[in-house]
Amino acid sequence: MDGLFSDVILLFILSIAVTLLCNKLRLPVTVGFLLTGVLCGPYALGLVSDVKAIEHIADIGVAILLFTIGMELSGEALNRLKRPVFLGGTLQIGLTILIVTLFFLFYEKNDWQKGIFWGCLVALSSSAIVLQIMQTKGITNTPAGRLSLAILVFQDIMVAPMLLCVPLLSGDLKLSALDAALSIGKVAGILGSVLLLAHFFLNRLMESVMRTRTREILLTTTIGLCMGMALLTHWLGLSLSLGAFLAGLMLARSPYSMSVISGVLPYRDIFMSLFFISVGMMLDISFCMHHIWHILLVTSVFIVAKSFLTLPAVLVQGYPIKVAIIVSLSLAQVGEFAFVLAKQGMEANFFSPLAYQLFLATSVISMIITPGLILVAPRLGEFVQKRFGKTKEEAEAPVYERDDHLIIVGFGISGKHLAHVAKESNIPYVILEMNPETVKKNASTQPILHGDASQPVVLEHLGITKARIMAIVISDPSAVRAITTEARHMNPNLYIVARTRFVTEIAPLTRLGANVVISEEFESSIEVFNTVLSQYLVPRQDIDAFAAEIRQKNYRMIRRMTYTSSEKFDAIMSSIPDSSLQAMRINKESSLCGISLAESALRQKYGVTVVGLMRGGKTMAPVDPKLVFEPNDVTYLFAKKDKLFAVSPLFTGQKETEQRA
């Protein structure tokens, strides 16, 4: 125990130094942990006395990672992944095994057994590395992220059959059809029973735990469920991570899922760091030094070949070549479960000692460069897609003929809400979505098209030059930037509203041409203090004034970051701080009905200027002071935001409280 404790302490101390150095060199933290493992492993400094114990601890990190991924999937999201899991996963693994087997039939003189084994090794990718990087970059919910997750889940499902195939291929195990059917039935029966029990009793268990209001009990219950399910699937011959993933899916249905996941995340990060370190320990430095060029050549061929073999699994589902390239490069490394498979292959004489070390070196190097591959994948995909030209679908797509319309890019929750209010408000709109299943599902009820909005030909079909507003509500940061740039280039007068996750994305998107960038991080902070102050019964006007002040400070900061020579603009804005143009409809209950603009004295009483009015679809600007207001008139008001808030009851007909300017 003392040896294991000192090993873990040494690993963490060394990882601090290595990861800080990697941070200086702008390398991902994952690379730092892998290099830490290489340095402290038995083939370098030999600082770790019990490598096996570290590997067992690292398995917990992989299980907890898959557990958190399962918890982040809603029922709707999982249902959407059903087709990519089985179609994409089957094609990716099946095509890889087929091509590798054909290669061995030609190269190894009909040694098809070794070909199938190596095909299984090549097909597996690293769930731990890919999903951890995608979570860090916030791209798990992008089309490429969802497809990568789907294929990785299918690979985890196929680990057990692959392990079973090794003794069958080597001739050490004879399995009858009856035995195979009984094994499959046992697995299905036990897993089905567990899922059924979880469906009926899990919520009751979590309610009992939450009533204790004890964080320690909640964490113990969470880890117990995660590891218990992982151990069960391991006992059935499946992977630990698959069981943890299923446990996460079960707990995701609980109303207390957010409390559960927040308690687990710190432990996941600690154990995942040990996993990456344990992978790095496998690399034999002396072997690498003597065969460096051979290893680099094999690794390059491996990455290119695996990427090409993964492409059809994405393209066949209707996604563009850019998404296919991102997914292919993201999955171009060797998977952690391939090491388990490789150990069985050594015992079955499918590996020579030299080939085994070559496999280990290729595996570790492919894992180390995975963050770089994921980073360059969007740029490479965009380059290839531009050179590839129009797809058949794009070439035959009809041009969207409406004028002054709204373009909605993305049909997730935000896109659906925006389309709903646009339809209710009689605003002409068109939706662009990259997921072909979503397009097919909504084609009968929505004006929805399939395509990549970063491509000029797609924007042209959407009528970009005649559109009034484009709302970009997708989760892929690189795609949002590319779409904003292209849309601004094609229509300088287009009003672009972009959604992003982080405040740091606001300034770059504004520089690229977005008129308004809505940060989920910033707006959620506004909503938090709105709710808190409301509970303390702070007056609504004061809360709105606080919100306006924070927004004003934020946007001034963004302007300073965006416009380097905007002194004149800042001077104008500083003279009319927190001012806005807003449309308000006059309800029939309003006291404004039947009186003229001059009689209303809106400017004198409320500090509000009427700059325009729309009646019967016709807009009048400027407004005649003698014009008498009528019900359903839409007025365009210019004033400070607090003044606009104060005058709104006058237009709605609610109890009016005069606020003197």
**Single-letter amino acid code for the residue at 175:** L
Predicted confidence (pLDDT) at residue 28 exceeds the cutoff of 80: no
DSSP assigned state of 466: T
* Tokens found for residue 180: 């195979």
* Tokens found for residue 573: 């804005």
Higher pLDDT, 499 or 388: 499
When pLDDT is cut at 50, 70 and 90, the band that residue 307 belongs to is very high
Reported as a single tens digit per residue, the pLDDT across 148-195 is 888 888 887 777 677 767 777 776 555 556 665 666 676 667 667 766
Predicted confidence (pLDDT) at residue 414 exceeds the cutoff of 70: yes
Q: What angle do CA 77, 194, 164 make, to 5 degrees?
A: 85
Residue 20 burial (CB count, 10 A): 11
Reported as a single tens digit per residue, the pLDDT across 52-67 is 777 777 777 777 777 8
Predicted confidence (pLDDT) at residue 555 exceeds the cutoff of 80: no
Which residues in 516-645 belong to E strands, given as ranges?
516-519, 579-585, 609-615, 618-620, 634-640
* Region label for 238, one of left (φ > 0), alpha (ψ between -120 and 50) or beta (otherwise): beta
Residue 518, helix vs strand vs coil: strand
Predicted confidence (pLDDT) at residue 660 exceeds the cutoff of 50: no
Half-sphere exposure of 78 (CA within 13 A, CB side): 15
Write down the pTM of the prediction.
Answer: 0.62
Predicted confidence (pLDDT) at residue 514 exceeds the cutoff of 70: yes
Predicted confidence (pLDDT) at residue 502 exceeds the cutoff of 80: no
When pLDDT is cut at 50, 70 and 90, the band that residue 95 belongs to is very high
pLDDT of 659 reads: 42
Please give the domain boundaries of the chain with CATH numbers for all domains. Answer: 2-170+268-384 (1.20.1530.20), 392-500 (3.40.50.720), 578-652 (3.30.70.1450)
Which stretch of DSSP H or E encloses residue 32?
Answer: helix 29-40
pLDDT of 301 reads: 92
pLDDT of 63 reads: 78
Contact 72, 261 (CB under 8 A): yes
Strands 406-409 and 429-433: parallel
Q: State the average pLDDT for the chain.
A: 79
* Tokens found for residue 227: 């590891």
When pLDDT is cut at 50, 70 and 90, the band that residue 570 belongs to is very low
Predicted confidence (pLDDT) at residue 392 exceeds the cutoff of 50: no
Whole-angstrom Cα distance, residue 461 to residue 405? Answer: 13
When pLDDT is cut at 50, 70 and 90, the band that residue 350 belongs to is confident
Contact 469, 497 (CB under 8 A): yes
Predicted confidence (pLDDT) at residue 5 exceeds the cutoff of 90: no
pLDDT of 186 reads: 65
Average pLDDT over residues 203-212: 81
Question: Taking Cα atoms as reference points, which of 244, 203, 196, 252 lies closest to residue 76?
Answer: 252
Reported as a single tens digit per residue, the pLDDT across 435-492 is 877 888 888 888 888 888 887 878 888 888 889 999 999 888 888 888 999 899 888 8
Average pLDDT over residues 487-505: 86
Most confident of 28-42, 64-78, 365-379, 642-656: 365-379
When pLDDT is cut at 50, 70 and 90, the band that residue 657 belongs to is very low
Predicted confidence (pLDDT) at residue 389 exceeds the cutoff of 70: no
Predicted confidence (pLDDT) at residue 91 exceeds the cutoff of 50: yes
Higher pLDDT, 549 or 342: 342
Residue 242 burial (CB count, 10 A): 27
Average pLDDT over residues 220-243: 78
Whole-angstrom Cα distance, residue 645 to residue 631? Answer: 20
Q: First-to-last CA distance in the chain?
A: 75
* Tokens found for residue 3: 């040896």
Question: Taking Cα atoms as reference points, which of 126, 130, 123 lies closest to residue 146?
Answer: 130
Average pLDDT over residues 195-209: 76
Predicted confidence (pLDDT) at residue 568 exceeds the cutoff of 50: no
pLDDT of 462 reads: 86
